[in-house]
Amino acid sequence: MEESKKKPIMIGIIVVCLALAGAITYITSSGEETGIDSLKHGQQMFWLKCRNPDCEHEFQMDMKDYFIYMKEHQDPMSMAPPPVVCPECGEESVYRAEKCEKCGLVFERNSIPNDFADRCPECKYSKTEELRKARKLEGK
């Protein structure tokens, strides 16, 4: 192909690519909320439990409020989530918990090492394990 014909074709390809990049940018930045901002209050509640042996207060916290607290108090040098201030005793000793669907015990997540995070230390029930068993049976 002649040089005089290559130049307009190359310019056309560049213009089309720039237009496509602009369209993709416009579509993906359509103003939709993402991350914590996309969560709605009252959408989901988390169980929390105080580690203070004199308190052991159990309560629920809105998921959005929990993640906002985590974002504001997270230590960038730590892999562990920061403790929440207990509304009963006032100490920074509250951590994420689970409530057993079988026996009703509220316990700290990962109470049993190397097991499901939601394994109840009392009755040994795990909702995660039950869901995986059910999915495995459905797949056969």
pLDDT digits (tens, 9 = 90+) for 108-126: 999 999 999 999 999 999 9
Query: Mean pLDDT over all residues of the chain?
Result: 86
67: helix, strand or coil: helix
Residue 108 bridge partners (DSSP): 97
pTM beyond cutoff 0.85: no
> How far is the C-alpha of 73 from the C-alpha of 69, rounded, in Å?
6
Domain spans of the chain? Answer: 36-99, 101-140
> How far is the C-alpha of 9 from the C-alpha of 46, rounded, in Å?
59
What contacts 24+ positions apart, CB below 8 Å, involve 62-66? 63/39, 64/36, 64/39, 64/40, 65/41, 66/96
